[in-house]
Homo-oligomer: A and B are copies of this chain.
Amino acid sequence: MSETTSDGPRPVGPASPTATAGPVSPGPSPELAARAAALDAADPLADRRKAFVLDDTVYLDGNSLGALPAAVPGRLAEVVAREWGELRIRSWTESGWWTAPERVGDRVAPLVGAAPGQVVVGDSTSVNIFKALVAAVRITEGREAPANAPVRDEILVDAATFPTDGYIAASAARMTGRTVRPVPMAELADAVGPRTAVVLANHVDYRTGELHDLPGITAAAHRAGALAVWDLCHSAGALPVRLDEDGADLAVGCGYKYLNGGPGAPAFLYVRAEHQGAFDSPLPGWNSHAEPFAMAAAYAPAEGAVRGRVGTPDILSMLALETALEVWDGVDIEQVREKSLALTDFFLECVAESVPAGRVGSLTPAERERRGSQVALRCPGAERVMGELIRRGVVGDFRRPDVLRFGFTPLYTSFGDTLRAASVLAEVLAEVLAEHPAGG
């Protein structure tokens, strides 16, 4: 565990398993309340909140499921009533359903620093990781290598990865005759070697919120002749991602977290232009065929990102995501990053001020350049604490064994929300610890 401290004036401090009950929190100080009000008044993204359906809840779980964009219900009703209900089959051409995976992909592209034609939307993140890893292994197989070069028989995987990445990597390795080697992110750049085919890494750690060095690790992979596949689930829409500029080979990401596409929204797959010709999918469904309606017996892949498609795309969810992406129109992702850091700074500061020292420890790096858009706090009784927070209108989530996750979505989270979350957390911790002084 990499315990870190906040950037605020007082350290959050490490969790103490022997913490004893303290007084009920007196609520936020007038100074913090004034700071929150001033920060909100100066927030250039404050008006984006109107683009979402929100209520009195402080919703800090947009890193798991983004809030509902206000335009989605109307658009989805139209898709159902008009495009499906009236036009029916004609909508595949007349309503642009057939080309939606590439069109929505091009809408995601600017958020991940990709020029058009390299992102396609569809299937789940897990399925896209499988496509990306197998295709990446095959690209390295297809390259000319020096006569005495060892076989590139290993896939390096972030040892702290979100589990599905590791499970799918193991399957991709098994099916391509490779092995998986888990490596801590901090050692990944040094671990890449002549036997490495592919590195699979998370841009932001789902648990700790740590932001990893995408350009540095990608460059290390390339120096060793390997490819880098990035999981952007916790960075796309949360902070600037520069896939083209930083040389990423392939990437996948989630449609339902910071992109607000709705529960189980389709994921996206980035295939760098220079790799598209060699992208050899393990899931060559008819939607990726060069001429799908020729119904040819032999497979011939289409050109471009469409090669990453598989079967018939899930239109209702795809078009919900397309509409959800409209909230990004005119938004500067650098401003989003600035606000995200200000929110997480402020949250850590408020927690440090409201929560007695030693009650919680932060897993999230204090250094801004190593922080994504969430704060992960450890405390005894975390599951119970999160249940109480949710009951009191502050929604984050719990991750075993003792982690409270708070995701900060700059498009709709205010500094006032942030202060309230910290204050309610302090209240709950005081009460829970009063009942169970040793935690639990």
Query: A residues near B, CB below 8 A?
Result: 53, 55, 57, 59, 61, 64-65, 67-68, 72-73, 76-77, 80-81, 83-86, 88-92, 97, 123-127, 130, 134, 159, 162-164, 166-168, 170-171, 175-176, 182, 207, 256, 262-267, 281-287, 289, 293-297, 299, 310-318, 320, 390, 395, 397, 399-400
Contacts and interface: CB of A to CB of B under 8 A. Distances in A.
Nearest to A396: B89
Copies in the complex: 2
Nearest to A390: B90
Given A81-B73, A89-B65, A283 B315 contact: no
Contacts of A297: 159, 163, 166, 182
A167 B84 contact: no
A397 to B, nearest CB: 7
Contacts of A207: 295
24 contacts: A68-B88, A73-B85, A76-B76, A76-B80, A89-B395, A97-B263, A97-B264, A126-B287, A130-B283, A163-B289, A163-B299, A164-B286, A164-B287, A166-B297, A167-B289, A171-B283, A171-B284, A263-B316, A264-B313, A293-B400, A294-B400, A314-B317, A315-B317, A316-B317
Contacts of A67: 85, 88
A265 B311 contact: no
B264 A127 contact: no
A318 B72 CA distance: 17
B72 A80 contact: yes
A262 B313 CA distance: 11
Nearest to A319: B263
Contacts of A81: 53, 68, 73
B175 A285 contact: no
A59 B88 contact: yes
A283 B168 contact: yes
Contacts of A127: 123, 127, 283, 285, 310-311
A168 B285 contact: yes
Q: Which of A77, A283, A318 has the most CB of B within 10 A?
A: A283
A170 B89 contact: no
Contacts of A134: 175
Nearest to A170: B299
A255 to B, nearest CB: 10
Given A80-B73, A164-B285, A289-B163, A315 B264 contact: yes
Nearest to A397: B89
Nearest to A395: B89
Contacts of A293: 400
Contacts of A287: 126, 164
B85 A286 contact: no
Contacts of A162: 286, 295
Given A163-B296, A167-B299, A297-B163, A124 B316 contact: no
A286 B55 CA distance: 32
Given A65-B88, A72-B80, 18 more contacts: A53-B85, A59-B88, A68-B88, A80-B262, A84-B263, A89-B397, A126-B286, A126-B287, A127-B311, A163-B289, A163-B297, A163-B299, A164-B311, A167-B299, A175-B175, A175-B176, A182-B297, A263-B312
Most buried by B among A59, A61, A317, A395: A317
The 4 closest A-B pairs by CB, nearest first: A124-B311, A126-B285, A126-B311, A263-B315
